[in-house]
Amino acid sequence: MSTHTDPNRLSAVREMPPEDRPRERLERVGATALRDVELLAILFRTGTRQEGAVSLAERVLYHFGDLRVLARASLEEIQQIKGIGQVKAIEIKAALELGKRLASHTQPQRPRINNAEDVAQLLMVEFKEYEVEHFKSLLLNTKNEVMKTVDISRGGINATTASPGDVFRQAVREGATSVIVAHNHPSGDPEPSRADIELTAQLQEAGDILCVPLLDHVIFGDGRWVSFKERQLL
């Protein structure tokens, strides 16, 4: 259990040199360098008429012993501390709950793309709902996991537009190592058009220049799809 200074010996924030005040210290040296009491004082923003935020924070920690006990305390128990009203008690509970959630947070598993069928599994249902053409890109990491699905553009009944700049701008920004693009044909026929083939060649060339290779272009129709890679068009 942590030990804390006798609260009667603490000074108000306003009596501290500016460089020692919690907010200024966080800005100067970063949050990890601050003590628990300083972080709690920043959360309070203000103390009471009788004492500053740091002194109030120190009394709270002195009362409960450490953050673990404070986190388990109820709102009513926290409000028993003189100077802690409902608002400050709620702020404490919210901040500590965020800390607990962050500590237990795990990154959700990302879908991995090994072939065009994986792309179809990921996007087929979504594309079936569109009545006009939509163009999307899948941004992949080194493990071929989908980092992000990006909506590039949408168009009319028969066509949409997408440029290499549209496709690769977000890929570069997100640090993707490769890209797969996909769009739908509302007619239901997924066979590539001449414009599709020309666009894919442009995207492939741009990806090679940027060292973010285009792995595939998948076109969706009515329950069917065509992969440029599987057709050896890429």
Model confidence pLDDT, tens digit, residues 168-209: 999 999 999 999 999 999 888 999 999 999 999 999 999 999
| DSSP assignment letter at 138 | E
Verdict on whether the full-model pTM lies above 0.75: no
For residue 185, what are its two tokens? 């044909």
157 pLDDT more than 70: no
The whole domain housing 192 covers 116-227
Say if CB 67 and CB 57 are below 8 A apart: no
Rounded percentage of the chain residues whose pLDDT exceeds 70? 88
Where is 153: in which H helix or E strand? Answer: strand 146-154
pLDDT band at 32 (very low <50, low <70, confident <90, very high): confident
pLDDT band at 156 (very low <50, low <70, confident <90, very high): low
Position 49 scores a pLDDT of: 81
Q: Is 143 helix (H, G, I), strand (E, B) or coil?
A: coil
Quick check: is 46 in a domain? yes
pLDDT band at 109 (very low <50, low <70, confident <90, very high): confident
| Residues contacting 178, CB < 8 A, separation 6+ | 140, 144, 207, 212, 213, 214, 215
- Residue 24: which of 50, 49, 54 has the closest Cα? 54
Sheet containing 178-184: order of strands: 146-154, 134-140, 178-184, 214-220, 225-227
Structural domains in the chain (count): 2
Query: Which of 51, 75, 104 corresponds to the end of one domain?
Result: 104
Higher-scoring residue by pLDDT: 233, 155: 233
Position 7 scores a pLDDT of: 47
For residue 44, what are its two tokens? 């309070």
Q: Residue 33 CB: number of other CB atoms within 10 A?
A: 10
Q: Are strands 178-184 and 214-220 parallel, antiparallel or unpaired?
A: parallel
Q: Rounded to whole angstroms, how far apart are CA atoms 61 and 36?
A: 8
Quick check: is 147 in a domain? yes
pLDDT band at 10 (very low <50, low <70, confident <90, very high): very low
Q: Rounded to whole angstroms, how far apart are CA atoms 227 and 192?
A: 9
Residues 163 and 98 in one domain: no
Position 19 scores a pLDDT of: 59
132 pLDDT more than 80: yes
Q: Residue 32 CB: number of other CB atoms within 10 A?
A: 7
Residues 149 and 85 in one domain: no
Residues 125 and 98 in one domain: no
The average pLDDT across 91-95 equals 90
Quick check: is 234 in a domain? no
CATH code at 79?
Answer: 1.10.150.20
